[in-house]
Amino acid sequence: MDDFISIAVPIVTLFIGLPWLILHYITRWKQAPTLTGEDEKLLDEMHFTARRLEERLQTIERIVAADNPDFRPSAPDAADREIDFSRRN
């Protein structure tokens, strides 16, 4: 009887437990919310606004630097920090 249990438990675990666990999490993954078209539009608008604000900040820093030679901008140019947001997963 002990030999049967020592063989049956791994077989049941392998052929019933493992597929059940995998299918359970696949189902959960498919039910997870995704980005809607409205969400993507909002993200695009926020990205556009952030770029405009960055350009305004650079303009202000250039004006202040022209008036005050000792002024140091708080961060490097935006070209150095450019991130490609056009690539989506």
pLDDT band at 80 (very low <50, low <70, confident <90, very high): low
Give the confidence band of 73 by pLDDT, cuts at 50, 70, 90: confident
37 versus 76: the higher-pLDDT residue is 37
Average model confidence (pLDDT) for the chain?
Answer: 85
Contact yes or no for 77/61 (Cβ under 8 A): no
Where do the H-state alpha helices sit in the chain? Answer: 2-12, 18-31, 37-67
The CA distance from 84 to 6, in Å, is 56
The two three-digit tokens of residue 16, written as one number = 């019933």
Burial of 61 (0-12, 13-18, 19+ CB in 10 A): middle
The whole-number average pLDDT for the span 14-39 is 92
Q: Is the pTM of this model over 0.85?
A: no
